[in-house]
Amino acid sequence: MTLYDRFGRPVTNLRISLTQECNFRCFFCHREGQRFLAKNEMKPEEIERLVKIASRLGIRKVKLTGGEPTVREDILEIVGRIKPYVKDLSMTTNGSRLKELAKPLAKAGLDRVNVSLHSLRPEVYRRITGVDMLDVVLEGIEEAVKYLSPVKLNMTVMRGLNDDEIWDMIEFSAKTGAILQLIELEAPREMTETAFFRKYFYPLKPLERELEKKAAEIRERRMHRRKKYFVPTRYGIAEVEVVRAMHNTVFCANCTRLRVTSDGKFKTCLLRNDDLTDFLTAMRTGASDEELVDIFRSAVLKREPYWR
C-alpha cells in the first residue's frame, strides 16, 4: 500500500526530527521548520510505533534529524528500535559526535549519514556554526566513511561567505569518498525580500550549467528530480548533487516526504506552518493503530506543492 496526496504524489519517506536541541549555533538554521522550541520530545517507543505504522502504509525510508539527533543519549536505542521496519535508515548530523558514534550507529542499524559541512576554512566554519570544531567534524567524517555508506556532505552555499569554496569542497568529497550535496539557502515566500536572504542567497542554477559541462556523467534522482553530476577531479570522480528548492516547481512536484516534528506532529512542508497534525496526543491517550492510520492519512491529504 502506498499513500498518495491530492496531487497524486506518493509518500514514501518520513523525515523525523528527534529534538530541537543542538550543540552548534548555525546562524541560518531553520530548525526543520519548527519555529518554537519544543521540549515535549517523543520517546523511543513512540518513535518505534510511528515507524511501524508507517511501514504498513508503504513507507520504508526514514531520515532522523533535529536539532542535532546525536545529542539524545538514547540515539542508539532509537536507531535499533526502528531499523526492523525500514529498508533505508539515515540521519543528518553536524558530525560533532561521529568519531565516537559512527561504528555504534552502524551496528545499531543506521545505513547512511548526511553531515553538515559548510566550509573547510576554520574561521568561516566558526562564523557559520558558532563553534570551533572543524577538526573534530573532519575526524568524524573520516570515521563515518568506514562504517556508513554513502556519507553525504551537506554544504549550504551562501554568497560572500563560502561560495568561493565550492570547487574545493568538490575535490574534498572525491578525496574522502563522500557525496557532496550543494544546497541553496531556503526561506518561505514572506522572507525572500528580507535583507538577510538577499545578502546570503546564492543561486545554484548557473553552477549547474558549469557542472553539466565538466561532468563525465549525469544522472537524475527520482526524488525532487535532482541531478547527480559525476565530476573528474585530481582525486578521482566526485559525485555532486544540487538541491535547488527555491521557486522550483519541479522540486515540489516530485516531493515524496512527510515530516514529523520533535513534539509529535506531522508537518507537510519545511516552509509551511499552517499544516501541523498532532498524533502524539492521540498516541498517549490510548489511540489504536487504526485511529493513528486515519490521522496519518489526514496529514497526507494536507500536502500540497509549496512552489507551483
pLDDT digits (tens, 9 = 90+) for 126-165: 999 999 999 999 999 999 999 999 999 999 999 999 999 9
pLDDT of residue 223: 63
What count of other Cβ atoms lies within 10 Å of the Cβ of residue 250?
12
pLDDT of residue 298: 96
DSSP code of residue 201:
B
Query: Which one, of 224, 28, 240, 16, lies nearest residue 118 by Cα?
Result: 28
254/146: higher pLDDT: 146
pLDDT of 36 over the 90 cut = no
Rounded percentage of the chain residues whose pLDDT exceeds 90: 82
pLDDT of residue 190: 76
What φ, ψ does residue 290 adopt, rounded to 5°? -65, -40
SS3 31: helix
pLDDT digits (tens, 9 = 90+) for 164-202: 999 999 999 999 999 999 999 987 777 788 899 899 999
Across the range 42-60, mean pLDDT stands at 97
Strand 236-243 and strand 151-157: the pairing is unpaired
pLDDT of residue 251: 81
Mean of the per-residue pLDDT values of the chain: 94
pLDDT digits (tens, 9 = 90+) for 284-293: 999 999 999 9
pLDDT of residue 165: 98
SS3 173: helix
pLDDT of 236 over the 90 cut = yes
Compute and round to an integer the Cα radius of gyration of the chain. 19
Q: Which pLDDT band holds residue 264 (cuts at 50, 70, 90)?
A: very high
Across the range 218-237, mean pLDDT stands at 88
pLDDT digits (tens, 9 = 90+) for 115-128: 999 999 999 999 99
State the Cα torsion 281-286-289-293 to the nearest 10°: -30
pLDDT of residue 11: 96
pLDDT of residue 37: 66
Q: Indicate left, alpha or beta for 242 from its phi (over 0: left) and psi (-120 to 50: alpha).
A: beta
Q: What's the rounded Cα separation, in Å, for the pair 122 and 203?
A: 24
